[in-house]
Amino acid sequence: MALEAHFEQTIRSEIEFSGIGLHSGAPVLMRLVPAPAGSGIVFRRTDLDNFEIAAIGRNVAKVSYATSLMRQSVLISTTEHLLSALIGFGVDNVIVEVDNLEVPILDGSSLPYVQAFHSVGLKQQRRKREYLKILKEVEVREGSKFIGVYPGSGYRIQYTIDFPQPIGYETFRGDLATGDYVKLIAPARTFGFKEDEGMLRDMGLIRGVSDESAIILSRQGVVNGPLRFNDEFVRHKVLDLIGDLALAGRRIQGHVVAERAGHAMHTALVQRLMRDRSAWELAHGYDEVAEPARVMGQLQPATVS
């Protein structure tokens, strides 16, 4: 049974992060600022006269190794981990001020964000939250890669990956409506293979990577363990998916299934959804059991196992 409709939320006070961009290697100062109801998530480039880019599907730019947004040739890169934390924790409205072109990578997960949200708290706003209620299936296929969204209660996700060893085949199932995000998804870090480092650097990528910001793998195993979860790799893909689907502008009510997908397919699903207005409706009710913020007390430190 659907619970009483929830209201939009923003953070109670400003939050500041500093670090370097995963791909650019550039230092960046980022500040999250409370925003009025109905604002959504908006990035603001403070180094470019406060130019604003809304976190919505029509502003999606490069999506090969990270999800970037662009408007009028102004770029904000690697947005997925922050967007994932905002959606996963229930933050509807916020201004994200950054003084460079890329969001800081921090520890490669969304854990620093949810810890910060928990620290400052959330403020309930007067506007009822709208959910993107899925009415019919929408699918994207590319060879053996697949992603689809289907009608259903909650926000259930099933994700399957199949990488070279030592990762192999992993599947994760979870539901954001029951608070799974905070405990089971937010701590999962990004990852990459050591042998791909030279190729990626030649492409102008991962210039800011370190043992503190990603899981590094060789063919023999994890170079900088231990893992936070035995299946941390697929959990991070779920984290990315939630961040990418945030570009629909609202949290989804439905079931998402993904197999060997990635940023490009995640955002392709968003764009296909946005084009097919018969596939969804805006709804205030939501069949959820608990807001993630309410189970925050169960969150463990970065050594979650």
One DSSP character per residue, 146-199 reads EEEEE--SSEEEEEEEEETTTTEEEEEEEEGGGTHIIIIITTPPPEEEGGGHHH
pLDDT recorded at residue 47: 98
Mean pLDDT of 82-101: 97
> Is the distance from CB of 88 to CB of 176 less than 8 angstroms?
yes
End-to-end CA gap in the chain: 33
206-226 confidence digits (pLDDT tens): 888 999 999 999 999 999 999
Mean pLDDT of 167-178: 94
44-57 confidence digits (pLDDT tens): 999 999 999 999 99
Mean pLDDT of 50-69: 91
Give me the sign of the Cα torsion angle 22, 23, 28, 34: negative
One DSSP character per residue, 255-281 reads EEEEES--HHHHHHHHHHHHH-GGGEE
Q: What CATH architecture does domain 7-283 belong to?
A: 2-Layer Sandwich (3.30)
Is residue 274 pLDDT above 50, yes or no? yes
pLDDT recorded at residue 217: 96
pLDDT recorded at residue 205: 82
**Cβ atoms within 10 A of the Cβ of 227, count?**
17
pLDDT recorded at residue 297: 35
State percent of the chain over pLDDT 70.
91
Please indicate if the annotation marks 81 as binding a ligand.
yes
Mean pLDDT of 292-302: 37
114-154 confidence digits (pLDDT tens): 999 999 999 999 999 999 999 999 999 999 999 999 999 99
| Structure-block tokens of residue 82 | 């922050």
Q: Which amino acid is at 303?
A: T
Is residue 244 pLDDT above 60, yes or no? yes
Three-class DSSP category at 55: coil
pLDDT recorded at residue 294: 37
d(CA 61, CA 156): 27
Which residues are annotated as catalytic?
263
d(CA 71, CA 53): 6
pLDDT recorded at residue 3: 39
Tell how far CA 73 is from the center of its chain.
Answer: 23
pLDDT recorded at residue 305: 25
Confidence bin at 177 (pLDDT 50/70/90):
confident
> Average model confidence (pLDDT) for the chain?
90
Confidence bin at 201 (pLDDT 50/70/90):
confident
pLDDT recorded at residue 180: 87
pLDDT recorded at residue 207: 87
Is residue 293 pLDDT above 50, yes or no? no
Confidence bin at 258 (pLDDT 50/70/90):
very high
Relative to beta strand 191-193, strand 215-218 is parallel
Is residue 70 pLDDT above 70, yes or no? yes
